[in-house]
Amino acid sequence: MIRRSRLKLGIGVSLIAIFVMISISLPSDDQGQPSSPTPEWSYDGETGPEYWDEIEHLGSACGGEHQSPINIIECFTENVKETVLNFEINYAPYTKIHDVLNNGHTIQYSFERGDFVIYNNERFDLLQMHFHEPAEHTVNGIRYPLELHMVHQGKHDNFLVLSIMAQEGLSSEPFQFLESYLPLQPQEKKVVHAGYDLNQNLPDILDYFLYAGSLTTPPCTESVEWIVFKHPITVSHEQVAALKVLMPTNNYRLKQDLNDRTVTLHVIE
């Protein structure tokens, strides 16, 4: 009986010791509860743009000095006159769209490899395009109802983004094609594998603003050259509305300080 009692006592002490060790090893917050995962960023509330630098993991540049978008004030830009574009757009008449995704933040069309832009003698391959409603960049304080970003990546993990503003007016035939694959629920992806002429998304007049900035969503990487076309394209009110209902309300980041950067306006003569 004495041996059995000692055995039970030994087991009880061992279990208590294990429980204490496990409790000490669990990470906890200020209330003594296990820590929760880092929240996903969003466009409002405690995970909105003003908190991105706080909620993102180490390595986020969202609090950097050269962030995007910005308010472009034309009278403060440096004017550059060109007879031809100083960058080369190489979009085939039938660029292959691989898929379209509603990632919960925007509607994104991803492309098969092949189309690219040459800028400063460097090739930037087209990755994807997506939408912001209303626009992220403002021009002379004016915010357009829609902005299209065409994202390209260089070989050094740097980026070039073509930004195209859209104003409401006549219906856009290219947008009709894009929206034929909608609607999509959040996180739903649809394989497209169809040809699309991206050149139809470009404005008729190719004057543009150029500046160095960042991605406009986390991690807000700052190695981005922005080409923001001055003149908008036209889409119908119904086409803007079709995108709006599929994306978060006001999926845009507020303007960031220009700081020591220069914006140039390139006019094609």
Give the residue ranges of DSSP H helices in the chain: 2-25, 52-55, 173-179, 237-244
Tell me whether residue 156 is one of the annotated catalytic residues. Answer: no
Work out the burial of residue 51: count CB atoms within 10 Å of its CB; fewer than 13 is exposed, 13-18 middle, 19 or more buried.
middle
Number of continuous H segments (helices) and E segments (strands) in the chain: 4, 15
Which of the residues 57, 66, 98, 105 is marked catalytic?
105
Measured between alpha carbons, how far is 144 from 139 in angstroms, rounded to an integer?
Answer: 9
Q: What is the per-residue DSSP string for 9-60? A: HHHHHHHHHHHHHHHHHS-B-TTSSBPPPPPPP-SSGGGSGGGHHHHSPTT-
Q: How would you classify the pairing of strands 233-235 and 159-168?
A: parallel
CA-to-CA separations, 256 to 27, 72, 135, 238, 259, in angstroms, rounded: 36, 11, 14, 30, 9
Residue that is written with structure tokens 């996180």 in the block: 187
Q: Diameter of the chain by CA atoms? A: 104
- Do 88 and 123 form a contact (C-beta atoms < 8 A)? no
Buried b (16+ CB within 10 A) or exposed e, 68-97: bbbbbeeeebeeeeeeeeebebebeeebeb
Active site residues: 105
